[in-house]
Amino acid sequence: MRGFSSASVLLALICLAVLSAGSNLRPLDIKTFHSLNRVGAPVVSPNQRLALFTTSYYSQAENKNAAFISCLDIDSGNITRLTEDRPGTVVTNPLWFDQDTIGYLKRGALYRQALQTDGAASVVFAPPVPISNVNYRANQSLLTFMAAVYPNCTLMESAAAKQRAAQRPDSAMVYDNLWARHWNEWMTPEKASVFTAPVARADEQWTVGRETSLAAMLPHTADPLTRWAVDDYAVSPSGSSLAFVVRPPTDNMTWSTNVDIYLAATGGGARPRLLTGRVGGAASAPAFSWDGQRLAWLQMETAGYEADINRIYIYTLATRETVAVAYDWDASPHALAWSRDNRALYAVVSSRGRNIVVEVDAVTGKRRELTSDGSAGAVRSVDARRVLLVHSSTEAPADIRL
């Protein structure tokens, strides 16, 4: 595999600096560790020749975080920085609007920028509440994203409700179940949901239309103290379908490990279809095939188990049939991605203290290890024979490899 990494280059420069100063090699201390660049998951361009990725780091001198976006030429390995690299400026969630225009989140707003270094950027969407996990489907001119909102509220209505709540003279809450706190978070009326919104593009004027919550028709969404929040989602390549992960409400959510996956049309209107109703365990990591005909996800099958083995399930949209593949596998994957030819899945599994990528035939379940040394993750298919992934080892920080 080839590696293209500013992080590994930085580590080499650090070692050279130590040697040139006449000092002996020393252990990697916490200050040096936090100053290293960290590379995010690659986002492959529509023509499959380029990939966007974030690089983040912490500046000790200014006590600020920084994150910027770069573009990788997949064939040559050349890397071009696209956004500002400055402590205190954090740019996240890179995406492609088209082959010549990128998008990203910065200071709570969604921006677009021409594919060039420090190009002129303009705001596409300035939501009244924070958004995350933004995707765009050009063939539908469709924006999808997640946002935490009050029950049955639009983004604007939720922002107004939060402002009113901030003006209360107290912060008291009344809970009638034990699901009042999860780890370090109290349950609040705001719950994460998944939204779609149309984008109208007229030359330089881009307008985002009214958003639609695809989870609004689920039961108990109006219960302000029930943890029904959407955890993750995947949108089909065509933009017509969306699958989201949600924890269903129960009488005793403190003991329940059930997590479901629903399938919805991005146009809204119809109630989302439950795909995991016959299984009482936790579902995760939905991923659409590139032809949009199948949806894969990871499924724990035993209710009440938080460490059950993950099985690979595949749902065919046309027939509404679900099958399990590689059921004889004793490994437990924690991430999935489809190959470009829709014949296989790339699964990330833990093996002997590291993460490896395994190719799994989507019909027979036959498996083939694609990585061996170090740890790998964030697999993204480039074409029928190549993938990009993020790789790290005990000798070097994360970099992008082909």
What pLDDT score does 227 carry? Answer: 59
Kindly tell me the burial class for residue 344, based on how many C-beta atoms sit within 10 Å of its own C-beta (0-12, 13-18, 19 or more): buried
What pLDDT score does 220 carry? Answer: 64
Report the distance separating Cα 189 and Cα 269, nearest Å.
24
What pLDDT score does 367 carry? Answer: 96
What pLDDT score does 250 carry? Answer: 64
206-209: long-range contacts at Cβ-Cβ below 8 A with a sequence spacing of 24 or more?
A: 206/112, 206/122, 206/124, 208/124, 208/125, 208/143
What pLDDT score does 19 carry? Answer: 36
- For 113-166, what is each residue's pLDDT tens digit? 999 877 789 999 999 999 999 999 999 999 999 999 988 889 999 999 999 999
**What are the b/e assignments for 273-303, b being 16+ CB within 10 Å?**
bebbeebbbbbbbbbbbeebebbbbbbbbee
**Tokens 């349950």, residue located:** 187
Element (H, E) at 156: helix 155-166
Spatial contact of 15 and 8, defined as CB atoms under 8 Å apart: no
Kindly tell me the burial class for residue 125, based on how many C-beta atoms sit within 10 Å of its own C-beta (0-12, 13-18, 19 or more): buried
Q: Which residues contact 290 (CB under 8 A, 6 or more apart)?
A: 237, 338, 339, 340, 341, 342, 381
Strand order across the 91-98 sheet: 91-98, 101-106, 109-114, 121-125
Report the distance separating Cα 340 and Cα 49, nearest Å.
14
Q: Which of 293, 306, 294 is nearest to 247 (CA)?
A: 306
- For 308-360, what is each residue's pLDDT tens digit? 999 999 999 999 999 999 999 999 999 999 999 999 999 999 988 889 999 99
Q: Which residues contact 13 (CB under 8 A, 6 or more apart)?
A: none
Report the distance separating Cα 275 and Cα 255, nearest Å.
22
The pair of three-digit structure tokens given for residue 279, joined into one six-digit string: 């299984």
Per-residue pLDDT of the chain (402 residues; tens, 9 = 90+): 666 554 443 333 333 333 344 456 767 788 777 778 899 999 999 999 999 999 999 998 899 999 999 999 999 999 999 999 999 999 999 999 999 999 999 999 999 999 987 778 999 999 999 999 999 999 999 999 999 998 888 999 999 999 999 999 998 888 776 777 777 878 788 889 999 999 998 878 899 999 999 988 776 665 655 557 788 999 999 999 999 999 877 656 777 788 999 999 998 778 899 999 888 899 999 999 999 999 999 999 988 887 899 999 999 999 999 999 999 999 999 999 999 999 999 999 998 888 999 999 999 999 999 998 888 999 999 998 899 999 888 877 888 888
